């Protein structure tokens, strides 16, 4: 009987530890996955360009983007969402992509884009 009680106590203790950990992970995920609504003063709203100027992402304050490639203006358009330093893109044609802002630089699809001042 003592063995059953010890097993039950161990199970309850382990279950409490798992619940606490799961709750912590859920809270962390919610904070990291909170979508930041763009606004005129959001630090990522504006023009982002590659070093050679070939690719230009204009992140608009209304949650839309307009991407130019070379001489082709508005080559891609769609919506975007920012979560922390992560950005997700949904092109109007159904294409999806993402990127990460690291130290004021946008890393996206193997490209590095810099904020145009």
Q: What is the pLDDT of residues 60-84, one digit of tens each?
A: 999 999 999 999 999 999 999 999 9
Q: In the structure, what pLDDT confidence band is assigned to residue 5 with cuts at 50, 70 and 90?
A: low
Integer Cα distance of 12 and 20 in angstroms: 12
**For residue range 36-69, what is the model confidence (pLDDT) as tens digits?**
777 888 899 999 999 999 999 999 999 999 999 9
Please report the pLDDT score of residue 24 as a whole number. 42
CB 69 within 8 A of CB 82: no
Angle at 44 between CA 104 and CA 61, to 5 degrees: 170
Instruction: Give the three-class secondary structure for 8.
Output: helix
Phi, psi of 40 (to 5 degrees): -55, -35
């Amino acid at each position: 009987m003592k063995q059953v009680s010890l097993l039950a106590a161990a199970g309850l203790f382990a279950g409490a530890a798992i619940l606490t950990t799961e709750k912590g992970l859920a809270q962390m995920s919610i904070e990291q996955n909170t979508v930041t609504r763009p606004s005129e003063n959001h630090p990522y709203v504006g023009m982002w360009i590659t070093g050679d100027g070939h690719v230009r992402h204009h992140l608009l304050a209304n949650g839309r983007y307009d991407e130019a490639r070379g001489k082709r203006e508005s080559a891609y358009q769609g919506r975007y969402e920012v979560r922390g330093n992560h950005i997700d893109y949904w092109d109007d044609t159904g294409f999806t992509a993402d990127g990460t802002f690291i130290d004021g630089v946008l890393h996206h699809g193997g490209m590095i884009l810099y904020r145009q001042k």
